[in-house]
Structure 1
Amino acid sequence: MLTIASTPVLYPLTDRAVLSLSGEDRVKYLQGQVTCDVAALEAGDATPGGHCDSKGKLWAPFWLANLGEQLLLLLNRSLVARQLPELKKFAVFAKTDVEDVSERWQVFGLAGEGLSHWLNHHVGDGNLWQGGIVIPVAAEHALLVLPVEAELPELPRGSEQEWLGLMIQAGLPDMSAEHQGEYIPQMLNLQALGGISFTKGCYMGQEIVARAKYRGANKKAMFVLVGKATDKIAVNQDLELQLGDNWRRAGTVLSHWQQGEDCLLTAVLNKDLDADTVFRLKDQPDSRLQLHPLPYDLVD
């Protein structure tokens, strides 16, 4: 539904927060807090990941980048009020400073045909650039995190809403405060994206996350839906699936893109759905949605 631009486009993102971890114990500390393998990252590396409560429910999905002297977490700004105090809670016992540094950084999406070539020409080897970092997130899609004083690349500008649609098409999860504490990481497909390490050892919620893998306890996953909606879509809006002449609640809207009546959205749904299942937004009975294939396999 959304077509990637024929040349690289820069998408200013205002809804991303940037958290920083610095200090000599930053890697060791974060390793014991999140789902991804922080210790495996060299300077310039990045990975998706999740920060959970003790019951394995997500405070936040994020992108983690290693800048060498500090670690940066990129996440939905609405999550910070509840998530940051949890991340800082035990930092007082480690040589680690955890801060919201969003005002010091500017965050952009980068996408378009030829982006890899453009990055090779302008950024060169590695992903560190102008005191910031390029984070590859999908084929010909990347996040660009630069200090506020850095010079921006001379590229066409795109809209934040379009970037969100591109991320939905790529099957990449985004979550707002409305859903904090509801989903384990596998329900947002973090294991399929390399955002969960099952070998690194303990972290907050690790026992629950591991049990979901090894005992098959998780029956849900994040799916992409495509279709038509007559009115504006909202996060946490109820979704229904069709069963004969009836409709049954299926889940809620996680993230969405909309242009006119055309829409894309993500939702956490049961994994045993038929490929031709018909959905609608509960408050928009004339809307119709169907499953859009994920660009990756759903592994446990």
Structure 2
Amino acid sequence: MSATISPVTLPSPAAWQGALRLSDLAILQASGPDTASFLHGQLSQDIEHLGPTEARLAAYCSAKGRMLASAIVLRPQEEQVWLLCDASVLAALHKRLSMFVLRARTQLSDASASLCVLGLVGAEAMSRLSPSGAQASAAWGVQASQGGQVVTLPEVQGVPRALWIGPASLADALLAGQPALPAAAWSWLDVMSGVPRIQAATADQFVPQMVNFEVLGGVNFQKGCYPGQEIVARSQYRGTIKRRAALVHSPAPLQAGQELFADSDPGQPAGMVIQAAPVPAGDGTPASPGQAHSALVELKLGAWHTPVHAGAPDGPLLSWGAQPYALPSADDAS
């Protein structure tokens, strides 16, 4: 099957600055004396030793080791933990975790109405929220600031990013002191970071290693049991990982959950779109409708750097993006 890749022109985000409200991120709050120990037994991450100055990635898995949700986890107080997840999975995550609370002294609640999440891009925007003008912390570091918590995210193409999580009543005042960042700019940078976010369309599809979650520190292999732990551990220690997450670009729109097909075996899907966003204009504003998209995709390693199409064997042909972090050499198909 022959095809020609249509070039996708990517913007340079070096000059992007500003902040915006992130309505697609929701907050599940857990409070009570047993909160850390309860979540420690439910998530792929060590929650009992999570300190107030760090955030950690964590997966909530089914008994079969498939990710039902991904979260950025903070512990703003000794007996309180925040799980930042995609808004589309919050209700299911809340309901399922609540089934296992039993006698644990912890209370789960949707805090999205009382707490707000802001996204910040650029050194200037971040410095305005840094306490006493302090430098931003390293990736996944947490600082208290402006009545909330600032989480430093991994840079994307050298551009600093952060989240501010705090009372919704303070959010408007903070936004008023910042340039407005286009939502298209944030969404694209989020995809280009290579850090996967599980949405409703992709829930129960991936073992953490399929989306590079353990490479990013989202799985602690020294902690005790949690749902799916045996399968996640077996995937790590028996044989070679067969599927990984990669960045791609498409001349046509992509969406989470969309299947991918490789020319080498067009009769069955070779992978799936994890997360996608339109490629914005050079200033970060949305481009024209139907524009090119960038995506983080899960794909068989055997299909890497071969012709791969979106949606159907004859669908739009994808081009390969630069991997934003190194993968284990045994799994690197580049």
- TM value normalised by structure 1: 0.89
- What amino acid sits opposite 1:54 in the alignment? A
The equivalent residue for 1:53 is 62
Does the alignment pair 1:174 with 2:180?
no
Which residue of 209, 214, 218 maps to 1:195? 218
The equivalent residue for 1:131 is 147
Which residue of 249, 261, 274 maps to 2:269? 249
Which residue of 37, 46, 71 maps to 1:37? 46
Write the distance in 1 (CA, Å) between the matches of 2:209 and 2:133.
33
Does the alignment pair 1:74 with 2:94?
no
Write the distance in 1 (CA, Å) between the matches of 2:44 and 2:93.
15
User: For structure 1, which runs of at least 5 residues remain unmatched after alignment?
Assistant: none
CA-based RMSD: 2.4
Which residue of 157, 168, 183 maps to 1:148? 168
Write the distance in 2 (CA, Å) between the matches of 1:181 and 1:196.
17
Question: How big is the shift at 1:101?
Answer: 1.1
Write the distance in 1 (CA, Å) between the matches of 2:302 and 2:95.
37
Question: How big is the shift at 1:291?
Answer: 1.9
Does the alignment pair 1:272 with 2:302?
yes
Does the alignment pair 1:289 with 2:309?
no
Judge conservation of contact 1:12–1:157 (CA < 8 Å) in 2. no
Which residue of 100, 104, 111 maps to 2:121? 111
The equivalent residue for 1:239 is 260
For residues 213-257 of structure 1, what are the alpha-carbon distances to aligned partners after superposition, in whole Å with 9 as ceiling and x for unaligned? Answer: 11136411111111311xx4333222222349x686322222111
Residues 294 and 85 of structure 1: CA distance in aligned 2, closer, same or farther (over 3 Å):
same
Does the alignment pair 1:227 with 2:257?
no
Residues 131 and 205 of structure 1: CA distance in aligned 2, closer, same or farther (over 3 Å):
farther
Residues 284 and 216 of structure 1: CA distance in aligned 2, closer, same or farther (over 3 Å):
closer
Write the distance in 2 (CA, Å) between the matches of 1:64 and 1:43.
10
The equivalent residue for 1:84 is 94
The equivalent residue for 1:298 is 327
Question: How big is the shift at 1:2?
Answer: 3.7
Question: How big is the shift at 1:29?
Answer: 0.7
Q: Which secondary structure state, in structure 2, belongs to the residue aligned with residue 85 of structure 1? A: helix
Question: How big is the shift at 1:82?
Answer: 1.9
Judge conservation of contact 2:192–2:296 (CA < 8 Å) in 1. no
Write the distance in 1 (CA, Å) between the matches of 2:104 and 2:131.
40
Q: Which secondary structure state, in structure 2, belongs to the residue aligned with residue 102 of structure 1? A: coil
For residues 160-192 of structure 1, what are the alpha-carbon distances to aligned partners after superposition, in whole Å with 9 as ceiling and x for unaligned? Answer: 332121011110112221221111111121111
Question: How big is the shift at 1:114?
Answer: 4.7
* Greater share of strand: 1
For residues 138-162 of structure 1, what are the alpha-carbon distances to aligned partners after superposition, in whole Å with 9 as ceiling and x for unaligned? Answer: 1211121121111315111123332
- What amino acid sits opposite 1:269 in the alignment? L
Write the distance in 2 (CA, Å) between the matches of 1:114 and 1:296.
25
Write the distance in 1 (CA, Å) between the matches of 2:221 and 2:117.
30
Question: How big is the shift at 1:123?
Answer: 6.3
Write the distance in 2 (CA, Å) between the matches of 1:36 and 1:132.
23
Identity %: 29
Judge conservation of contact 1:6–1:113 (CA < 8 Å) in 2. no
- TM value normalised by structure 2: 0.81
Judge conservation of contact 2:130–2:145 (CA < 8 Å) in 1. no
- What amino acid sits opposite 2:260 in the alignment? L
Question: How big is the shift at 1:119?
Answer: 4.7
The equivalent residue for 1:28 is 37
Question: How big is the shift at 1:284?
Answer: 9.5
Residues 255 and 247 of structure 1: CA distance in aligned 2, closer, same or farther (over 3 Å):
same
